[in-house]
Structure 1
Amino acid sequence: MITCELMTTLAAAKPESHLLARPSCAQLPDTALIREMRELTSVADTRFGCAPFARITLLPDALWQDALTDGLVNALRPLFAAPVSENVVIDVSHIHDTVLVQVLRFLFNQAHKLSDLQLKKKDDSTLRIRHLAALCLPEQRERLAKIIQQQQAIANGMIAGRRLADTPSDRCTPQYVVDEAQTLCAAFPALRCEVLDEKQIVEQGLGLLHAVGKGATCPPRLLAIHYDGTNDGPVRCYVGKGITFDTGGLWLKEGAGMYTMKYDMCGAANVLGLMLTVAELKLPVRIMGVLALAENAIGPDAMQPGTVARACNGLTVEINNTDAEGRLVLADAIAWASQRHPQVQYIIDMATLTGAVVKALGYELSGLMTQNEMLRDHLTQAGLRSGDEVWSLPLDARLKKQTESTIADLCNTPTNNAAISASAAWLLHHFCPPTIPWAHLDISGTALWREGGRSVASGRPIPLLVEHLLADIES
C-alpha cells in the first residue's frame, strides 16, 4: 500500500524524492537547471544536478488542465515504468479536478504489478513507490484530504479487481473467484457473501447460467456480495459478467482471439472491487453485487447452437451462438438480482460483452445503454467528473427484430450481425422488470489497459461507479 501526505512547502519533501511539477510552480528552486527546464515546451526530465531530489520532471502546464485526453497520465506512464525513488512529490496546487483524480488513481495503482502474482522470477532490485506527497496551498488541505482518501479507496478496489483479472484462468476458476472474494470481504464486517453452487443454480432456475457453465470441468457459481452500510432503505445492485475463460464453446474462437479471454471476467472482478471500495469508505447505503461466474468451455456437456434454455424469470432463449455467452449469464444474474430484494433502487451491469463496442467507441469510452434518462444523465456526468467516461448508444424497440426467435421467446444474437452491442443490451433489458431502472455498461474497450502490444486489467469502471454512487448519496 502506498502512503500519502499533504504538504504546503517543498522543504518538507523526503530526500531523494521524485518531484513532478508544472513549469510555472512558484516553489521550484531558482537555479540555472530549473530555468533551462522551464524553457522547454515538452516534458523536461532530469536525474542529474537536481539535489535534494533524485529526479525532477516538469510537465507542460496544459497537461495539468487536460481533462479530455488523459494527457498527464499518459506522460507519467513511461516515467514510472522504472521508478528511481520510493517517494514521489507531486504539485497539485493548480490542476483540473478531473485530472487530479485520474493522476491520484494512477499513482496509487502503482501498488500492483504483474510480478506480485509471483508467476515470474522476482527482481528485488526494482524500486516500488511507497510514499506520495501532494504539494498544495494551505487553504486546499481539507478539500484535498477528502479527495485523496476517496481516490485511494477507489484505487484499492481497482487493484483487487485487477489482480483477480490478471490471474491466469487455469487458477482463476469460478470457485477461485468465490474463495478470493470471501477472503477479501472478511476484512470488512459490513460485507457478507452468498454463494450458489451448480446444484443451487439449477434448483433456483438459472438455466442460462447453467447452460453456459455445464460444459466445463470447473462448475459455475453465482456469488452475491451484500453490503449493509445502513439498516434499511433501497438496495443498489451491480451485476458483473464473470466468464473466467471463454473458448467460444462449440462456436470456437481462433487462437488470437482467445489469448486475452482470461479477462472475460473483468466485469465480475470489478464488481468485487467496487464492493471493497464501498466498504472501505463506509458509505451509508445498502448494496448488492452479483458475480455471474462460469467457464465457457468445450466438452461433452457443452451447450450446442440451437439449444433453448430458460432463465430464472421464465423467459426462454434460443442459443444460436455459443460465443455470445456473456449476455446469457448476465441475463440470469440481472433477473435473479431483481427478485432477490423487494427494494431495488437500480441495477447496473458491466461486462466485456462485445468487440463491436470497441469498433464504435475505441479504448477510452465505455458503452452505456439504458432506457432510463435519469440514470443515463447521472452516469454520463459521473463519467466526466471521474475521468472514467461513458458514451450512450441507442436502446429502443427498433432493435426488437435483432432478438426474435421462431422457437423461443428470444435469441441471443442477431442473425444479420448488425448493431451487435445494442442488440445484446436489448436482450438484457427483458430480464430487468420495467419498474426498476437499469443500465448496461459494455466495457470491452476500457476494462484493459493496452500498451506495447500487451494487455493488463485497468480496473475500470470502478471510478465511474463510485463517483455515481457518491453523487447519488449526496442528492
Structure 2
Amino acid sequence: MLDYRIINHPDNHAVGCHLVTWPGSPLLADPLFEACPVVSEMLARAENAIADTCFGCAPFARITLIPLNVWQDAQHDALTQALRPLFIAPASTRVLLDASVNAPGLSSALRYLFNLEHTLTDLGLRKPQPGAVRLRQIDIWCQPEQTAALKAQLRQQQAIAHGMVVARRLADLPSEQCTPQFVVEEAQRLCANIPALRCEVLDEHAIVEQGLGLLHAVGKGSARPPRLLAIHYDGVEIGPVRSYVGKGITFDTGGLWLKEGAGMYTMKYDMCGAANVLGLMLSIAALALPVRVMGVLALAENAIGPDAMQPGSVVRACNGLTVEINNTDAEGRLVLADAIAWASQRHPHARYIIDMATLTGAVVKALGYELSGLMTQDEPLRAALTAAGKQSGDEVWSLPLDARLKKQAESAIADLCNTPTNNAAISASAAWLLHHFCPPEIPWAHLDVSGTALWREGGKSVASGRPIPLLIQHLLNDLQ
C-alpha cells in the first residue's frame, strides 16, 4: 500500500514533492513559500483555470494550483478529473495534497491517489521504463481541527482502494494466466493471513454433485474447468449475512455463438464482477467491519470445443429451474443464476444478495461509461444503493424490472430461456431471468457494470475496480 501521513505544518519532508493546493489556501502563507516566487505568478492564473509548473518551483518538484470551484464541485467528480492528467507521468515520488478546503470530492480524489499503487507495468509483462517515477508517499495537509475527521477518511479510502487494486490487478492479467483455478489460488493466497476470511471451493466435480448445471454447462467446453469460490467473512459471530455474487468469465469467446475478433479483444475483463467481489471482501476485512458477509465468485471460461454447450440445450440450475440456452454468448447470466441460487440456499435468511457483472453491452448504450445499471424489485434496496452511489461518487441508475418483461424469458421447452428472441430490453431481460433464482423473501439487486468496470483513457481499457466504492458505502450506511 502507498504510505500516507497527515501534517499540520510543512517540514523538510515536503522538499522535492509535488504540491497540489488552491488559491487562497492558508498553506500558502507558510514561510516555505517565501523562497518560491513562482507561486505569486501562478495565483493570477489559477482563479479560473489550473496553473501547473515544474519549473522555478523549488523547493518543490512541481506545483499545481487548482481553482477553488473545482475543489467545491459536488456533482462531477471534478477534483479527481483534474488530478488524473497530472499523475500520468509523476514528477515526484511524493505528493503534498492540501485538504484544508471543504472538498466534497476529496474522498474520491484520495481513492484515486491510492489506486496509483497499481499500473500495468506491475504485471511484469513489459520491460520497466528506466528512470520512471512512481508515487510512493501521500502527505495530506490540513488545519489541526480537521485532523481527526481526515484520519478516518484516509483509513476508509485506503481500505477501499486496497480492494480495488487487488481486483484491478487480477482483471488486467491475460486470460491464459488468469484461469478459474488461478483466481481461486490467488484468493486463497490473499486471504490466508486474514483470520476473519476463509475460502470454500467447489471444483468441477462438486459443481456437478451440487447441481449447479448452469455453471457446469458454461465451463464444460474449456480445458480450464469451472470453479465456484465462496469467501466468508465473520466480523461478528451472529447476525444476518450479506451476500455478494460476481460473474467470473475468465475469457468469453461467445462459445459456439462465436464473437467476432473485435468483440473478443477485451473479454479477459468478463471476470471483473468476480474480481470485484474478491476486492470487496478484502476491503471489508481491512476495515474490520462488524458484519457477516459471503462473497461468491462464479468462475468459468466460455470456450469452444467438443464439449461446449450448444444452442437449444436445456440445463437445470441448483434451485431446480430449467433454462433453454438459445444463445451461448449469454453465458454470464447462467453462471450468475446458479451462484445466486446457491448463495440463497446457503444463507436462506440473508439480509440481501447483490450481484455484479459485466453482463450486457446494451447497458453501455443506455447509460454510457459513468453509471452502473441497477435492477431490483426491492424499493428500500434500490433507494439505499442509489444514495450510496451519490455519496461515494460511484453512481448507479435504475432500469425497470417487472412482469412486463415476462415474455422475454419464456421458453416452449424449459422453465426459462437465457435470451429474448426479439433482441429487446437486453439488460432488463437478463435481470428478469436472474430474479427467478433469488427467493422473494431475500432482497436482491443486480448491478450491470459493463460500462463502469473498465476505465477508458487514451484509447486503452483497464480495470477500474468499480463498484467496490459504492458497495462499501452502502454497507457502511446499512450498519448505521
**Same topology, TM > 0.5:** yes
Q: In structure 2, what is the equivalent of residue 34 of structure 1?
A: 39
The amino acid across from 1:35 in the alignment is S
TM-superposed deviation, 1:12: 6.0
Contact 2:230 2:296 in 1 (8 A): yes
TM-superposed deviation, 1:95: 3.4
Residue 67 of structure 2 is aligned to residue 73 of structure 1:
no
Structure 2 CA distance for aligned equivalents of residues 403 and 346 of structure 1: 24
Which sections of structure 2, spanning at least 5 residues, go unmatched?
Answer: none
Give CA-to-partner distance per residue, 1:175-203, whole Å, 9 cap, x none.
00000000001120110000000011001
Structure 1 CA distance for aligned equivalents of residues 152 and 83 of structure 2: 23
Query: Which structure 2 residues correspond to residues 188-337 of structure 1 after superposition, within 5 A?
Result: 188-337=194-343
The amino acid across from 1:186 in the alignment is A
- Bigger shift: 17-26 or 230-239? 17-26
Q: In structure 1, what is the equivalent of residue 103 of structure 2?
A: 96
Q: In structure 1, what is the equivalent of residue 3 of structure 2?
A: 3
Residue 21 of structure 2 is aligned to residue 16 of structure 1:
no
Contact 2:27 2:98 in 1 (8 A): no
From 424, 435, 448, the equivalent of 1:418 is: 424
Structure 1 CA distance for aligned equivalents of residues 130 and 297 of structure 2: 36
Residue 122 of structure 2 is aligned to residue 116 of structure 1:
yes
Structure 2 CA distance for aligned equivalents of residues 24 and 328 of structure 1: 56
Contact 2:348 2:442 in 1 (8 A): no
The amino acid across from 1:218 in the alignment is R
Which sections of structure 1, spanning at least 5 residues, go unmatched?
Answer: none
Residue 75 of structure 2 is aligned to residue 55 of structure 1:
no
Structure 2 CA distance for aligned equivalents of residues 187 and 83 of structure 1: 33
Structure 1 CA distance for aligned equivalents of residues 44 and 141 of structure 2: 22
Q: In structure 2, what is the equivalent of residue 338 of structure 1?
A: 344
Query: Equivalent pairs: percent with the same residue?
Result: 71
Structure 2 CA distance for aligned equivalents of residues 301 and 389 of structure 1: 40
| Count of matched residue pairs | 473
TM-superposed deviation, 1:433: 0.1
TM-superposed deviation, 1:236: 0.3
The amino acid across from 2:41 in the alignment is E
Structure 2 CA distance for aligned equivalents of residues 187 and 457 of structure 1: 26
Give CA-to-partner distance per residue, 1:212-250, whole Å, 9 cap, x none.
000000000000000011111100000000000000001
Structure 1 CA distance for aligned equivalents of residues 12 and 147 of structure 2: 15
Give CA-to-partner distance per residue, 1:65-111, whole Å, 9 cap, x none.
223222221221121111111110011111333x1111001000011
Structure 2 CA distance for aligned equivalents of residues 440 and 10 of structure 1: 47
- SS in structure 1 of the partner of residue 81 of structure 2: helix
- Bigger shift: 32-41 or 348-357? 32-41
TM-superposed deviation, 1:429: 0.3
Structure 1 CA distance for aligned equivalents of residues 72 and 366 of structure 2: 27
Q: In structure 2, what is the equivalent of residue 136 of structure 1?
A: 142
- SS in structure 1 of the partner of residue 351 of structure 2: strand
Structure 1 CA distance for aligned equivalents of residues 473 and 243 of structure 2: 15
Residue 58 of structure 2 is aligned to residue 45 of structure 1:
no
Give CA-to-partner distance per residue, 1:354-406, whole Å, 9 cap, x none.
00100111100000000111100111111111110101111100110111111
- SS in structure 2 of the partner of residue 270 of structure 1: helix
Contact 2:79 2:106 in 1 (8 A): no
Give CA-to-partner distance per residue, 1:277-327, whole Å, 9 cap, x none.
111111111000000000000000001111111000000011101000000
- SS in structure 2 of the partner of residue 472 of structure 1: helix
Structure 2 CA distance for aligned equivalents of residues 261 and 49 of structure 1: 47
Structure 1 CA distance for aligned equivalents of residues 73 and 358 of structure 2: 28
Structure 1 CA distance for aligned equivalents of residues 126 and 428 of structure 2: 40
Contact 1:67 1:387 in 2 (8 A): no
- SS in structure 2 of the partner of residue 460 of structure 1: coil
What is the CA RMSD across the aligned residues, in angstroms?
A: 1.1
- SS in structure 2 of the partner of residue 344 of structure 1: coil
Structure 2 CA distance for aligned equivalents of residues 342 and 433 of structure 1: 8
